[in-house]
Structure 1
């Protein structure tokens, strides 16, 4: 159990207590924390002060005032420990950087497994629970291709396309993250308990819900914003016109992430949602290259592994480069350099350097400047 005299432990317990209060969603939690400055001050606030916060009515204010008497965050923390789950506050260095930029990030994230900085290079694969054999095959193939180039595959651990995406990443030896709409005290659907354990061993299973929260229909759209928020883009593999998986695409649009869709047979109901997304401007996906080419430069460079000397990636398309292409790109930076200098630096034949430069320029990884000089984008 945490030491109550420890500031960090007390702060974590207060956040757990706040997360356990029924009726407090991410926007209300954020409003409360911004208004009072800390979870401790929220929990000790008066009814009148709480009612001044947007989204907090009389009933919710009463729940907050009585939370310390009626809820036991130490029991919640013990539940986490028993199941190998770590609660990660928003200000923790391990908190996923991409989630910090969304409008309503969780104040606290429950994590089983390990989150790495390289997971900011992630793509979500989502789709129908009642998927066709075609959709399952394509989801697994795309997930495997994404994992092999070094991208983390994110999905919702649901039946159908989500499960195929996780399995595709795992079979390719890659990293994958499962995002649940219920607490990590149990896995939903229950038949995916073994899959969840495999995902946690090769990435993480995460949730913003208290450990014992049961799956409710209204929590899944809320979960989908986290799927989109963790990623550079969302790929919808199969979706009926009113499919819940389309909400992940809509969240991606709102969060300024890329949206992709896989086309399917025109007589299949599970293709209609994807075709509608394509008509509305989503990038049509046939192979992993369609995804990598569409993604823009990263907000900041990311190391491709945890090794100290690991190269940094500025653009996801760099992940699929050949050794020659990577060697040439590695000698470019923000300073303009000419072909002759690159030939000397790389030790490659002039024809190889020129051909490689043409490929890198076509992939929008380098920029041609005046005097036939090149810089890295």
Structure 2
């Protein structure tokens, strides 16, 4: 996008009364932002939803001063900008009617041909939530997903850290401009995140992290991903807003179940109870629902010759060869493994081409 195109787009987004939906409607009718400002009032008035107040606001020249100032910041700080019409704009976000017209990014973000998930939850993450998140990301790492979160305290920053530990691309969606960072305590993670991933925001450099901006931020977290995972949540919280937005966008939602007495499992348990989320007990659940194990593999998978098996894998493989296809629970029982452990083993065996998953959480040896 040229500087001139960006300048007029910035100006359009500063017009009082022009939100993302109205801006897209105007751009659809006039082709570009410059044409909107140069159009005659009667041409603009002919568009459904345009009233006298908005017509007057479109004549406000102060928006050009604000646009020029923001463009100067963008150029001086090497900020990347994508319009919803651009090729490098997140593909799934394009299909959200209220997705931002412009997003600003920093770092080394590459979403092409990537599996993208968001991980959200309470700011008061427990040891249970931390360990589940660790195991989940470790087991998903061979599939090279992009991990999206909100860079906040708790589940967010744990997800970002674990993604970095597993050399996965991770992106923080911010509720403020790229000239600052919130919370400040997380500034120490910025450089490493920008090496392989980075930050996305729809907010200008003049935007501070106000409460309502976090809610707007959540629609990007939900909208640009294939699935939203809620690790832990109380019965109210921002992560539940994100989950509801993901449902509205017809995206998959997963929630980690917990004890009914645990405060930070109440939100997850309620999502599951009201059928607003799939139960997530392991990476295998996510892979099965999203069909990740089927997408990038040939229909016929041959087992590698002379593949090395550890004792656990050998036990399971021999059991499946002897007994044929079997339920995950039966495999765990007969091979004497707890469910939380066997899910990870089965995933690794699948990636090695030793077994394949079947509908109904069944597996068979190849």
How would you bin the TM-score normalised by the shorter chain?
Answer: 0.7 to 0.9
Aligned to 1:371: none
1:113 Cα offset (Å): 1.6
Report what 1:85 is aligned to.
79
Runs ≥4 residues deviating over 6 A: 346-349, 354-358
Of the three residues 64, 87, 106, the one matched with 1:112 is 106
Cα drift, residue 9 of structure 1: 2.6
Q: Deviation per CA, 1:299-335: give whole Å up to 9, x if none.
A: xxxxxxxxxxxxxxxxx2258xxxxxx8xx43x4xxx
| Inter-CA distance 162–51: structure 2 relative to 1 (3 Å threshold) | farther
User: Is this contact kept in 1: 2:280–2:286, CA < 8 A?
Assistant: yes
Long gaps (5+) in structure 1: 1-6, 297-315, 320-325, 365-377
Q: More deviation in 43-52 or 72-81?
A: 43-52
1:262 and 2:256 matched: yes
Asked if structure 2 preserves the Cα contact closer than 8 Å seen for 1:21 and 1:63, the reply is yes
Distance 1:210 1:317 in 2: 40
Q: For the residues of structure 1 that align with 2:243 and 2:150, how far apart are their CA atoms? A: 13
SS of residue paired to 1:95:
coil
**Cα contact 2:109–2:196 (8 A) shared by 1:** no
2:285 is aligned with 1:290: yes
Can you list the C-alpha shifts for 1:151-193, whole angstroms capped at 9, x where unaligned? 1101111111111111110111111111112222212222222
SS at match of 1:192: helix
The corresponding residue for 2:11 is 17
Q: Which residue in the other structure is 1:34 paired with? A: 28
Q: 1:119 to 1:105 in 2, by over 3 A?
A: farther
> In the superposition, relative to structure 1, how do residues 269 and 52 fare at CA in structure 2: closer, same or farther (>3 Å)?
farther
Shift of 1:63: 3.4
* 1:62 correspondence with 2:56: yes
Using a 3 Å threshold, how does the CA distance of structure 1 residues 112 and 362 change in structure 2: closer, same or farther? same
Are residue 362 (structure 1) and residue 358 (structure 2) matched? yes
Contact 1:125–1:165 (8 Å) recurs in 2: yes
> What TM-score do the two structures reach when normalised by structure 1?
0.74
Aligned residues of 1:146 and 1:152 also touching (Cα < 8 A): no
Secondary structure at the aligned position of 2:214 is classed as: helix
1:109-136 Cα distance to aligned partner (Å, 9 max, x none) = 1111233244641111001123333223
- RMSD over equivalenced CA pairs, Å: 3.1
Q: Is the 8 A contact 1:238 1:270 kept in 2?
A: yes
SS in 1 for 2:58: helix
Q: Distance in 1 between matches of 2:141 and 2:68?
A: 38
Report the equivalent of 2:337.
Answer: none
The answer to whether the Cα contact below 8 Å between 2:11 and 2:64 also exists between their aligned partners in 1 is no
| Conserved 8 A contact 1:123-1:235 | yes
Return the offset for 1:67: 4.2
Q: Cα–Cα, structure 1 residues 201 and 168, in superposed 2: closer, same or farther, change >3 Å?
A: same
Aligned residues: 318
Q: Identify the match of residue 97 of structure 1 among 91, 94, 111.
A: 91
Q: Is the 8 A contact 2:12 2:63 kept in 1?
A: no
Displacement of 1:70 after TM fit? 4.8
Q: How far is the alpha carbon of 1:56 from its aligned partner? A: 5.0
Task: Report the 3-state secondary structure (helix = DSSP H, G, I; strand = E; otherwise coil) of the residue aligned with 1:250.
Answer: helix
TM superposition shift of 1:107: 1.9
Q: Deviations over 1:210-239 (max 9, x none)?
A: 222112222222221211121110000111
2-structure distance, mates of 1:159, 1:68: 37
- Do the aligned residues in 2 keep the contact of 1:241 with 1:273 (CA within 8 Å)? yes
SS of residue paired to 1:245 = helix
Determine helix, strand or coil for the equivalent of 2:234: coil
Which residue, 231, 236, 247 being the options, matches 1:253? 247
Q: Distance in 2 between matches of 1:21 and 1:116?
A: 31
Is the alpha carbon distance of 1:21 and 1:145 closer, same or farther for their aligned partners in structure 2, counting shifts above 3 Å? Answer: farther
Q: 1:88 Cα shift?
A: 1.2
Which residue matches 1:213? 207
Indicate the residue corresponding to 1:375 in structure 2: none
